[in-house]
């Protein structure tokens, strides 16, 4: 794992392979390891950069000056500048798609293509906004994720049959939430407020003119398929793919399907 100092904090990132650059954004409450199946396959032909969100993986807690996903996107751009990377594609899942879209707005001439997976770049709907902020408040106060909340959160991330089809995936994630304690829990909740209190980027994406692939697990609960259709309607020329038997972390539930989908898309972009 590499480290990059920016705005008083150290951002951890993976840098694997050679070729055209693909920047991956992982989900909230996960880390760069989430992309392991795709990085293993794509790093044969591409240089895969996977930054870790503040307070996630091996990255430091969020610098005091970082107040939004726009700020974080600017820090990722600073990392790419530091690595002397001019042009790149972005593959973002969940919050990775949210800051990935901010990156396109920040540096439109540099981003060659964008993949938005299991994400929504409009405002967080009011009902879920209230629900998530209440959860984050509880985590901050308790400096932990209570068992009842772990039981409620875990199924949200996966397809309906995860207990039968991929029990280790759900079990590993629940274990990780249980281990989130003290200051780490408080800092993860702070990043969560940036995610769920994000700005509305719908007007921005309507101006996009780069190749965009939108993909969503058919059983995604936090980011339902309808939201992907809304983004697809806004981004002219975008392509939409539904991933069967997958929930929110579709790339780990259907790794082969997602890897092949990304290969096809990137091959067209860099043909």
pLDDT at 271 over 90: no
Q: HSE (CB half, 13 Å, CA atoms) of 99? A: 30
SS3 16: strand
Would you state the pLDDT for residue 34?
97
The pLDDT > 90 percentage for the chain reads: 97
Half-sphere exposure of 11 (CA within 13 A, CB side): 26
pLDDT in tens, 177-202: 999 999 999 999 999 999 999 999 99
**Res. 264: pLDDT tops 90:** yes
Q: Summarize the confidence of residues 162-191 as an average pLDDT.
A: 94
In order of start, what are the domains of the chain with their CATH numbers? Answer: 2-122+199-269 (3.40.50.1820)
What does R_g of the chain's alpha carbons equal in angstroms? 17
pLDDT band of 163, cuts 50, 70, 90: confident
Strand partners, 88: 111
The span from the CA of 196 to the CA of 265, in Å, is 29
Contact between 145 and 139 (Cβ < 8 Å): yes
Q: What percent of the chain has pLDDT over 70?
A: 100
Mean pLDDT in residue range 50-68 = 95
Task: For residue 181, give the DSSP letter.
Answer: B
pLDDT at 238: 96
CB atoms within 10 A of CB 194: 22
Average pLDDT over residues 219-244: 96
Q: Which two tokens stand for residue 10?
A: 């150290």
Q: What is the pLDDT of residues 198-219, one digit of tens each?
A: 999 999 999 999 999 999 999 9
CB 1 within 8 A of CB 219: no
How many other CB atoms are there within 10 angstroms of residue 100's CB atom?
27
Q: What is the pTM of this model?
A: 0.96
Residue 49 has pLDDT above 90, yes or no: yes
Question: What share of residues in the chain are helix, strand, coil (percent, to 5)?
Answer: 45, 20, 35
List the alpha helices (DSSP H) in 143-201: 147-156, 162-165, 167-178, 182-196
pLDDT for position 220: 97
Across all residues in the chain, what is the average pLDDT?
Answer: 96
Q: What pLDDT score was predicted for residue 3?
A: 97
Going by the DSSP 8-state scheme, the letter that residue 209 receives in this structure is -
How far is Cα 21 from Cα 16, in angstroms, rounded to an integer? 10
């Amino acid at each position: 794992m590499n480290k990059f100092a920016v705005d008083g904090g150290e951002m951890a990132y993976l840098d694997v392979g050679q070729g055209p650059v693909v920047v991956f954004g992982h989900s909230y409450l996960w880390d760069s390891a989430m992309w392991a199946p795709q990085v293993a396959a794509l790093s044969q032909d591409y240089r895969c950069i996977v930054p870790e969100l503040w307070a996630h993986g091996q990255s430091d807690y969020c610098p005091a000056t970082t107040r939004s996903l726009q700020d974080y996107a600017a820090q990722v751009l600073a990392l790419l500048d530091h690595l002397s990377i001019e042009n790149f594609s972005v593959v973002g899942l969940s919050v990775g798609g949210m800051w990935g879209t901010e990156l396109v707005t920040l540096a439109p001439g540099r981003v060659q293509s964008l993949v938005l997976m299991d994400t929504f770049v409009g405002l967080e709907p009011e009902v879920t906004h209230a629900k998530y902020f209440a959860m984050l408040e509880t985590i901050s106060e308790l400096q932990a994720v209570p068992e009842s909340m772990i039981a409620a959160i875990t199924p949200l991330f996966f397809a309906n049959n995860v207990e039968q089809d991929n029990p280790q995936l759900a079990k590993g994630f629940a274990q990780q939430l249980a281990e989130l304690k003290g200051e780490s829990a408080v800092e993860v909740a702070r990043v969560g407020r940036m995610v769920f209190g994000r700005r509305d980027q719908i007007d921005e994406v309507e101006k996009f003119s780069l190749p965009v692939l939108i993909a969503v697990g058919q059983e995604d609960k936090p980011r339902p398929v309808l939201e992907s259709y809304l983004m697809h309607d806004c981004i002219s020329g975008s392509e939409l793919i539904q991933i069967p038997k997958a929930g929110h972390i579709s790339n780990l539930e259907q790794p082969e399907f997602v890897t092949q989908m990304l290969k096809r898309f990137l091959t067209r972009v860099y043909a």
